[in-house]
Amino acid sequence: MAQEPRQQRPLSEEELKAYYRAKRGKNLALLAALVGFIVLVYLVSLVRMGG
């Protein structure tokens, strides 16, 4: 007899909120890292080309 696939527990309201919060935090951190990288590359280019 084929085994039934394992059912995953649906998330509660509180867990969904925490899930949203964590995801939003990660997205903002990634945005900050990307913006920081762009600024860094710009500034490093200025320094390297200037000297």
Please give the residue ranges that form the binding site for other proteins (CB under 8 A): 6, 8-11, 15-16, 18-23, 25-26, 29, 40, 43-44, 47-48, 51
Beta strands in 1-51 (DSSP E): none
Kindly state the smallest distance separating residue 42's Cβ from other proteins, in Å: 11
Provide the minimum distance between the beta carbon of 23 and other proteins in the complex, in angstroms, as a whole number. Answer: 5
Rounded distance between C-alpha atoms, residue 47 and residue 13, angstroms: 51
3 state DSSP class of 9 = coil
**Closer to other proteins by Cβ: residue 35 or 40:** 40
